[in-house]
Amino acid sequence: METARKITVEVPPELLERAQRASGSGITETVRTGLQLVAASHAYARLRQLRGKVRFTRALADLKADR
């Protein structure tokens, strides 16, 4: 079973309201989504650093045909 940590975070009310409106969720889900986005942006940045450095053995046409 996955465990969760309970945290206390101070955020400006306007920021929280804007984030909740954007996500359409409550406080907990909005904070979780924000944390996931921060983690994903780091992963995307690492992937962008690999651009042009990875060689693929399959042609683009083969990849599209494999769908």
Residue-wise pLDDT tens digits, 6-20: 999 999 999 999 999
pLDDT of residue 38: 94
Residue-wise pLDDT tens digits, 30-59: 999 999 999 999 888 888 888 888 887 888
Per-domain boundaries in the chain: 13-65
- Judging by beta carbons within 10 Å of its beta carbon (0-12, 13-18, 19+), is residue 34 exposed, middle or buried? middle
pTM above 0.85, yes or no: no
| Spatial distance between the Cα atoms of 3 and 47, rounded to a whole number of angstroms | 29
More reliable by pLDDT, 62 or 40: 40
Which range has the worst mean pLDDT, 1-5, 24-28, 34-38, 43-47? 1-5
Please, which residues have CB within 8 angstroms of residue 33's CB and are 6 or more apart in sequence? 23, 25
